[in-house]
Structure 1
């Protein structure tokens, strides 16, 4: 497939941020197993900064200049230096692994976040770590049972032979165990996943990262067996090579290609075809709607095929791409007549209840909707211009920012993962 730039085309080029799913996983591993990470300071966002501050407070060393930051992981055993309060704000990819690390290390801590984080449950992870037994004397939830803030008084003791974890709310519970348990195990450990594993793609991403690091495991069906790990054989130089750009951010450019009436060619640097994030498969969906693309060595070129004017109805299984697929709702006023998304149960437990929030805000600007606990249907009906709430959710802010008829009232919440989205005009 060829992308031909004519004399009437407008060229726009940009870089996207590092994937928070990749960078926070690799930073945790580098800290726990005493490795080193290097990345550009221009790519730092809020969630990444929270993880860096945790590493610094717990023994790590940070070196930086105008263009580069180097993080030296050094998880220390001196517990007196690690006792205290830990603020995670709204960073779910920071909370789950450090909570597992603190519990397994038997370190007294108080973990808290903002209002949005207080709606994201962690009780399934706590019950798994303490083997389902009563943990009131070890862990205390300050307000609602299962939600932050949380106080840790005693750890979970030695690593057990088997962990049974519920995965119906988040796959990050299993990912956290996969990353932290090898630090403390001295025998084979089995992880059994109960219920349906949400966002299976992110679990596969974790498996890939720890395999590169040198951790051996065997997985089948809903079971994973982790083999004893020799820390001296860890591949410390491999983590920096795993850095990838955020593929969910590319969905905003894919939608923007179709919404823009001018012949705009987007060149996005840092994107590779052999990407481990499943969000890259959203490009195949967009190709059916009218996006033409070409992969270069370290970039992707996007262009809209405006000759394709037939409006479509989309039905998408979002099991592996729940965060990026919801961006397609912005096309309901132009290229698509109806969008049905299913397998989106995990959206109920994000920064806000995204199913409720998206249906409500899309209805305010003229859409009809139907929704359930695991699906939603959005259909275009009329035209209305309204001020849209973001619910302090960065993805809702960016989706509504792409739509012409929506006015976003809290654009600053995008600093969580994409600080430059509104500042540099990466919308409309």
Structure 2
């Protein structure tokens, strides 16, 4: 296995231009593919997760030319395909719903970990309106076979929201393909709500305005997607968190460019974590800057709204003046790995005492130790644990190439703000 040794970092300062948001990129690609008209997309993320989406859309008959997507003007023209979607939940789950509405014979598979990530709540919602979805492995998980079926919207579509917000996102983006008004009702709590806000925002840009009643009911109009002509994908707010945290821990200032105070991404609220922990934060149009230098303050916070950036907060807890508690992060267990278990294991290697709860972590910092960090093929494990090098000890990151999922040039960008 490849590994990368990060030497101790004495201080941080500089600027980083962020890659495009993964969450926005894959939503834009799908809706541009389904819309009438051509869409010129700027700022699109070029990484593993967006490549598998583009490859799948190409197999479904969508044409690409440089930054331009030629929309199908409705359901996909190709009615039979086998698609491999890696470990990209933002590709496999929305495509499952869109292909059900298209009507055809499709097989959707992914990497081994993708076959361990649940999709049962989405499949149940689709079956509830007449879809014919077959599990090809374990019930409740990919791979899937989709068969033609008559979809009926006589009743509201119901979906559970307490495992992943991507199931609701998938339904909302797919339903306009039916040319009928529809209503989606969420059963129970809806987690990760800011990601649904991204979905609604991107749908609006493509001409479909969804009416939301609190977080329990969503009215989808009988409207087709229409290209906005041009659309810009802002920088990835989750990726911004690592550099902003480095500024807070290592003195800074560190500025990220490509995302700012007008961001549509929930993870921009990581700035609230930084401020609670004592960092100085400033924001403008298209940029955020963080600086620190003093001992960070311990944190006790519900981070359900920023589950990806919450991983950065967990590593920042190593530098706090007391125990920190991260709450309501149970969705970590069904991500690229079981992030709760993985985070607890790796933080302990660095000298922290960690109590792992069902949906929480309590992290008591200790004297930082040199460690070899396992990343579990999880890009965010690799990126968040790079911050440990700011503690004056060398850190070895196993399988650093896993960052190619969302940020292939991450370690080069991180080195650019670090001073030994």
- TM-score norm. by structure 2 comes to 0.89
Measured in 1, the distance between the counterparts of 2:27 and 2:276 equals 33
Measured in 2, the distance between the counterparts of 1:336 and 1:178 equals 44
Higher relative contact order structure (alpha carbons within 8 Å, sequence separation ≥ 6): 2
Superposed CA offset, 1:2-22 (max 9, x none): xxxxxxx97522211111111
Partner of 2:259: 271
Measured in 2, the distance between the counterparts of 1:77 and 1:315 equals 46
Partner of 1:408: 397
Partner of 1:312: 297
The alpha-carbon deviation at position 324 of structure 1 amounts to 0.2
Gaps (5+ residues) in structure 2? Answer: 1-10
Matched-pair contact (CA < 8 Å) for 2:125–2:159: yes
Measured in 1, the distance between the counterparts of 2:321 and 2:71 equals 47
Superposed CA offset, 1:300-350 (max 9, x none): 33332x2x44x5220111121011022012223323432211111211110
Partner of 1:395: 380
Q: Does 1:211 align with 2:204?
A: yes
Measured in 2, the distance between the counterparts of 1:411 and 1:366 equals 22
The alpha-carbon deviation at position 39 of structure 1 amounts to 4.0
Q: What SS class does the counterpart of residue 90 from structure 1 fall into?
A: coil
Q: What SS class does the counterpart of residue 337 from structure 1 fall into?
A: coil
Measured in 2, the distance between the counterparts of 1:50 and 1:423 equals 24
Q: Does 1:421 align with 2:410?
A: yes
Superposed CA offset, 1:133-161 (max 9, x none): 8x7xx332222111111122333534443
Partner of 2:314: 329
Partner of 2:114: 117
Query: Which of these residues, 249, 254, 259, is aligned with residue 244 of structure 2?
Result: 254
Partner of 1:339: 324
Partner of 2:365: 380
The alpha-carbon deviation at position 225 of structure 1 amounts to 1.9
Q: Does 1:94 align with 2:91?
A: yes
Measured in 2, the distance between the counterparts of 1:227 and 1:26 equals 19
Matched-pair contact (CA < 8 Å) for 1:258–1:335: no
Measured in 1, the distance between the counterparts of 2:17 and 2:37 equals 27
Partner of 1:145: 139
Measured in 1, the distance between the counterparts of 2:16 and 2:298 equals 30
The alpha-carbon deviation at position 42 of structure 1 amounts to 8.4
Matched-pair contact (CA < 8 Å) for 2:277–2:298: no
Query: Which of these residues, 16, 24, 27, is aligned with residue 25 of structure 1?
Result: 27
Partner of 1:154: 148
Measured in 2, the distance between the counterparts of 1:110 and 1:82 equals 11
Measured in 2, the distance between the counterparts of 1:29 and 1:293 equals 34
Superposed CA offset, 1:271-308 (max 9, x none): 2311111211211221233332333433233332x2x4
Q: Does 1:240 align with 2:234?
A: no
Measured in 2, the distance between the counterparts of 1:76 and 1:189 equals 17
The alpha-carbon deviation at position 70 of structure 1 amounts to 2.0
Q: How many residues end up aligned between the 2 structures?
A: 402
Partner of 1:73: 71
Q: What SS class does the counterpart of residue 422 from structure 1 fall into?
A: helix
The alpha-carbon deviation at position 364 of structure 1 amounts to 1.9
Partner of 2:8: none
Matched-pair contact (CA < 8 Å) for 1:388–1:408: yes
Gaps (5+ residues) in structure 1? Answer: 1-8
Matched-pair contact (CA < 8 Å) for 2:207–2:226: yes
Matched-pair contact (CA < 8 Å) for 2:254–2:291: yes
Measured in 2, the distance between the counterparts of 1:172 and 1:47 equals 15
Aligned-pair RMSD on alpha carbons? 2.4
Q: What SS class does the counterpart of residue 38 from structure 1 fall into?
A: strand
Q: What SS class does the counterpart of residue 219 from structure 1 fall into?
A: strand
Measured in 2, the distance between the counterparts of 1:355 and 1:42 equals 30
The alpha-carbon deviation at position 356 of structure 1 amounts to 0.7
Q: What SS class does the counterpart of residue 275 from structure 1 fall into?
A: coil
Shift of the 217–39 alpha-carbon distance from structure 1 to 2, 3 Å rule, reads closer
